[in-house]
Amino acid sequence: MKKTAAILICCVLLLTGCARTQLAKYDDYMIFGTQVRWVYVPSDGAREEALHHAIAACAEEIDGALSLSGKDSDVSRLNNADAGERVEVSAVTYRALTDARQVYLETNGAYNPAAGLLVDLWGFSPRHTAADYRPTMPYDRAQPERELPSEAYVSLFSSSNLTDFGAVELSEENGRYFVTKPQTAFAEYGGVRYTMQFNLGGIGKGNCVDAVYDLLRADGQTAGYYTVGGSSMALLSDPSAADGMWEVSLNAPRTQFGVSYGSVCVRDTVLSVSGDYEQYYELDGVRYSHIIDPRTGTPVGEGSHVVCATVVGGSAAMGDARATAIVAMDLAEALSYLAANRDAFGAAFIWYDAASDRYTVYSGLGDMLSVTAEGLAVEAVV
C-alpha cells in the first residue's frame, strides 16, 4: 500500500527564512500515526517548551479519544456498542462528531464517519497496516491489496442501516456528552451481526489542529505554523515575508506533474488537503483509494473522478471532512458544492477526465492559488 504526504512545505526554506528571522521547530511522532510539527519564532525557551508540552498533551488527548486502535478510546467503545445503545463520550469526541454531522449534512452524505465498516472492508483501517496483520473477520482477505472484497459485503455495509449517520443521536446533559446508535443500526449476514462503525481518523487531525491553533493564539503567538501529517495545518504568519504570507506547495497527484502542481499563499488560517494518492493500492490496472464513497460503497480512483482537493478557511476539522467529501463527489456535485459554500471556505480540486485522459484544476481560491505544473488546465469556480 502506497502512502504519500498530502502537502509539501519546504522546511529548509521555512526554518532559515531571512537573515533577520530564525525559526525553530518541535517535532512529535506517532500522533495519529504521523508526524506533528510546530514551527515558531524563538524568544523564551522555557515558555516555548511549556507550550510545546501543552500542544503535545492536547494532541494526545484527541488521538486517544478518536483512535481506532485504542481499545478504550471513545470511538472503540462506540464501535463495540450494540444498535440502540447509548454511550457516554468525552467533549473531544462529541465536538468531532458534531463537526462531522454538519459536513455530513451539507455534503448530502459524501462525507460519512459512519462508513467505518466499508473502510475496514476495503483494507484501509489501521489494523491492516500492522506488521502482524492477519484475517480475523469473515470478510477479511489475507492480502487486501491483491484481492477485492465480496460484492455481498460491499452491498451489506453500504445499507442505510449501517451508514445512516443522520439517525445517530448526539446529546448533552449537564456537561456530559452522549452518543446513541439508532435501533436499526445493525445487519446480519452469514450468522454474524454487524453494527454501525465509526471512523473519525480523517477529521481527528483537523480537530487537533483547531485545538492547537486556539492554544497558540491564546499564548500570543503570531508567527509560525502547526501541521499534522502535512494534510491538516494551522498557519499564522511567515515572519520572513514582508506580507506574512506562507507559500504552501501542494503535492502533485500524479508523477507526470513533478513534485508539486502549484502552491497557495495564505496566512492566519487553516488548510486541509485530501486525495486518492495518499493511501491506495492498484489491482489489474485500477486504483483503489482509501477514500470511500459511502453512497456507493466503493473507493475513489477508477474512471473520471476528483483526484485531490484543498480547502482553506473555516475550521480545520470541517476542512478535513470537506476535502474528503469533495474527492468523493462527481464533477457537477463538486462544482455546485464549492459555489454554494464560497462564503464559508475556499477550495480547489483536480478533476481527471478518463475519456480524454485530461486533468483540470477547478479553483475557487482566486489569487491564492498558483498552478505551475505543465499539462494542467485551470478553470475558475465562480
- In the chain, where the domains are located: 2-43+225-380, 74-201
**2-43+225-380 and 74-201: identical CATH topology:** yes
Return the half-sphere exposure (C-beta side, CA atoms, 13 A cut-off) of residue 145. Answer: 14
| pLDDT at position 12 over 60 | no
Between residues 170 and 202, the one the model is more confident about = 170
pLDDT at 116: 97
In angstroms, the CA 149 to CA 142 distance is: 11
Query: CATH for 2-43+225-380?
Result: 3.10.520.10
| pLDDT at position 270 over 50 | yes
Where residue 29 falls among pLDDT bands split at 50, 70, 90?
confident
> Collapsing DSSP states into helix, strand and coil, what is residue 95?
helix
Where residue 3 falls among pLDDT bands split at 50, 70, 90?
very low
| pLDDT at position 16 over 60 | no
Residue 224, all three cell numbers: 509560525
**Stretch 368-377: mean pLDDT, rounded?**
94
pLDDT at 76: 97
| pLDDT at position 4 over 50 | no
Q: What is the pLDDT of residues 103-116, one digit of tens each?
A: 999 999 999 999 99
Burial of 5 (0-12, 13-18, 19+ CB in 10 A): middle
**Which CATH number among 3.10.520.10, 3.40.250.10, 3.40.50.10210, 3.40.50.800 corresponds to the domain 74-201?**
3.10.520.10
Q: What is the pLDDT of residues 129-138, one digit of tens each?
A: 888 999 999 9
